[in-house]
Amino acid sequence: MTPTILVVGATGNTGRSVVQTLSKLLSTSSTLSGHRILALTRSSNGTVAKELAELPGVEVAEQNWVEITADWLRQHGVARAFIASHNQPNQFAEESTFHLAALHAGVEYVVRISTTAANVRPDYPAYYPRTHWAIEALLSSPEFRGLQWTSLQPNVFFTFYISSAAELVKNYRKTGKQDILRLMASKDGPVGVVDADDVGTLAAHLLAEKDVSRHNKAKYVVNGPEDITGQQIVKMVEDHIGTQVKEVRYKDMSFVDQMAAQSSESSNVILSIKHAPETAWAGECTASTTSKEVIALAAPKGTLATAFQALLES
């Protein structure tokens, strides 16, 4: 059976870059020689899924990853896997079930996406970093020693951090009017915001490593190459619209109120997301905290300017 590298969430924030990079590495990596890439998606008819299906060595399949079993992994010859789970309150139950299936199926290595490193601890106020801590604790237990794994702890993605700024510029160009600029960022707190594609590229290089044992049980901090403040984002917006921004609201997490109102989950749990950026506001998530292994293997390159331009063109 052809050995398979499974990519869960292949059309998501990081998954697309994982697939694209792995496809390129197939032709140059002796480790990946003879492997195929199985890219999972909820709909193979989507634009991104169709693009991925055209890449060398890639097969796209519709499969709900939360239903994957050990038998399914064996039947598809999965040797290594990538997973970027959702961050809903039931994440632990569903992602841990996936890892348990991987353990029982004899999967060699899993690369998973965690969250901001400074937040991954058992006492963090926001709920989902505690979930990531719990999953990493589970994978670190003696019972899981048969499954090698690496957890990537990326900082906030550009798409989340500056999308409101890009929307203001787009709307201003259409209407000549300004809305309130609502930023998750604080005014002065430096944050190493990272491009999701860079995180996917890093994951692909890990999956292509000949000896993954040196990355086993590693938790790598992944930030962008430069620190960004809210004030810099405002300046960038003003440069694009040619005038001063009229009203800025820093540390704006009001969107979480809307999430809580629309969710069937406990509002107390959902509202805890408001605490997620507190470590960034305190200056604990700078570019300098990136793990040295990340810099050596596939250093993130995405900058504020390039990310902002991409959002304006999307």
What CATH number has the domain bearing residue 14? 3.40.50.720
Q: Are 107 and 185 in a shared domain?
A: no
CA–CA distance, 213 with 53 (Å, rounded to integer): 31
Q: Are 134 and 176 in a shared domain?
A: no
pLDDT at 29 over 90: no
Tell the burial category of 158 from Cβ atoms under 10 Å away from its Cβ (0-12, 13-18, 19+): buried
Which residues are CB-neighbours of 176 under 8 A, at least 6 positions away? none
**Mean pLDDT in residue range 188-198:** 97
Q: Are 173 and 273 in a shared domain?
A: yes
Judge whether 311 lies within some domain: no
Provide the mean pLDDT of the chain: 96
Judge whether 82 lies within some domain: yes
- Are residues 41 and 61 in contact, defined by beta-carbon separation less than 8 angstroms? yes
Judge whether 115 lies within some domain: yes
Q: Are 112 and 183 in a shared domain?
A: no
Q: Are 22 and 37 in a shared domain?
A: yes
CA angle, corner 245, sides to 181 and 183, nearest 5? 25
DSSP string over 27-93: TT-STTTT-EEEEEES-TTSHHHHHHHTSTTEEEEE--GGG--HHHHHHTTEEEEEE----STTHHH
pLDDT score at 204: 98
Q: Are 16 and 140 in a shared domain?
A: yes
Domain containing 247: what range?
A: 159-189+226-281
User: Which pTM does this prediction carry?
Assistant: 0.96
Q: In the structure, what pLDDT confidence band is assigned to residue 33 with cuts at 50, 70 and 90?
A: confident
Q: How many domains does the chain have?
A: 2
**Mean pLDDT in residue range 277-298:** 97
Two tokens, residue 22: 């792995």
pLDDT score at 193: 98
pLDDT score at 28: 85
**Mean pLDDT in residue range 162-170:** 97
CA–CA distance, 191 with 209 (Å, rounded to integer): 30
